[in-house]
């Protein structure tokens, strides 16, 4: 069953068409990777899906509803969470306050407390640093915080934009292990990632985006062995 279905999506920046009628779907329980070079339109696609920028044409069907014209904050309460590029944590707030912000759409205090414990269990480092200002954390820890904050809204699907960007190799491995765990625990994942090798290693299926069009799609393991993908994105 498709949890998220994108049909003929077009996005413009002024006169420039950034996304040229793409269609793809994310089924419940899958990890889907969107890979492509810088400027291919990966982040723009996520921003359109989460309502941060308007779609010029096309449909964005989430959980059976067309959300193309619904504002971003309403989409969050429907069960979609977004971990933006560059992490975007609230630097002046503590780790604990950042996590609480992730649950702002929810009212049940006991459930929120339970979720907080679950996040601390998954990210022990956040528990150790819960009273520390988020701005003082390392890049990898801020990425964990951004992911933890997204999980606090109990999303059905989580969209991650370049989670490995600017991280040391050790942290990159850790972040991808966490994405695997999040998926195994039942959350659907749509992943935009520059590190194609890593993305394909954890994804079920993948789509290759080139200058606003999908040029290739298929099983992630098969794409990993595709000669054109190897040459263009895997540095082989």
- SS3 of 37-49: the string is CCCCCHHHHHHHH
pLDDT of 236: 64
Q: Do the Cβ atoms of 217 and 23 come closer than 8 Å?
A: no
Please state the separation of Cα 225 from the chain's center in Å: 24
**Model confidence band, residue 17 (pLDDT cutoffs 50, 70, 90):** very high
Q: How far apart are CA 188 and CA 179, in angstroms?
A: 10
Task: Say if residue 156's pLDDT is above 80.
Answer: yes
Residue 19's Cβ-side half-sphere holds a number of Cα atoms within 13 Å equal to 26
pLDDT in tens, 34-70: 999 888 999 999 999 999 999 999 999 999 999 998 8
Contacts of 115 (CB under 8 A, 6+ apart): 103, 151, 152, 154
Mean pLDDT of the 170-180 span: 91
Q: How far apart are CA 130 and CA 27, in angstroms?
A: 34
Q: Do the Cβ atoms of 70 and 102 come closer than 8 Å?
A: no
Task: Say if residue 125's pLDDT is above 80.
Answer: yes
Please state the separation of Cα 5 from the chain's center in Å: 15
pLDDT mean across residues, the chain: 92
Between 219 and 167, where is the model more confident? 219
Task: Say if residue 166's pLDDT is above 90.
Answer: no
CB count in 10 Å sphere of residue 170 = 9
Closest CA to 49 of 31, 24, 28: 24
pLDDT of 220: 96
Domains of the chain by range and CATH?
29-49+69-233 (3.40.50.300)
Task: Say if residue 231's pLDDT is above 80.
Answer: yes
Task: Say if residue 139's pLDDT is above 70.
Answer: yes
Contacts of 216 (CB under 8 A, 6+ apart): 207, 208, 223, 226, 228, 229
Please state the separation of Cα 141 from the chain's center in Å: 17
**Model confidence band, residue 159 (pLDDT cutoffs 50, 70, 90):** very high
């Amino acid at each position: 069953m498709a949890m998220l279905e994108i049909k003929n999506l077009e996005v413009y920046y002024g006169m420039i068409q950034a996304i040229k009628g793409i269609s793809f779907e994310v089924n419940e329980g899958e990890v889907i990777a969107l890979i492509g070079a810088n400027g291919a339109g990966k982040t723009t696609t996520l921003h359109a899906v989460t309502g941060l920028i308007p779609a010029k044409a096309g449909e964005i069907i989430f959980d059976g509803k067309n959300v193309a014209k619904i504002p971003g904050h309403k989409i969050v309460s429907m069960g979609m969470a977004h971990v933006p590029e560059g992490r975007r944590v609230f630097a002046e707030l503590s780790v604990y306050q950042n996590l609480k912000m992730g649950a702002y759409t929810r009212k049940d205090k006991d459930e929120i407390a339970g979720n907080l414990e679950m996040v601390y269990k998954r990210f022990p480092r956040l528990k150790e640093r819960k009273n520390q200002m988020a701005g003082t954390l390392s890049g990898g820890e801020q990425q964990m915080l951004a992911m933890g904050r997204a999980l606090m809204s109990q999303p059905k699907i989580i969209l991650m934009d370049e989670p490995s960007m600017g991280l040391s190799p050790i942290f990159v491995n850790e972040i991808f292990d966490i994405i695997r765990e999040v998926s195994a625990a039942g959350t659907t994942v749509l992943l935009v990632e520059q590190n194609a090798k890593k993305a394909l290693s954890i994804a079920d299926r993948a789509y290759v985006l080139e200058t606003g069009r999908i040029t290739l799609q298929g099983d992630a393991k098969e794409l990993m062995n595709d000669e054109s993908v190897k040459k263009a994105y895997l540095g082989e």
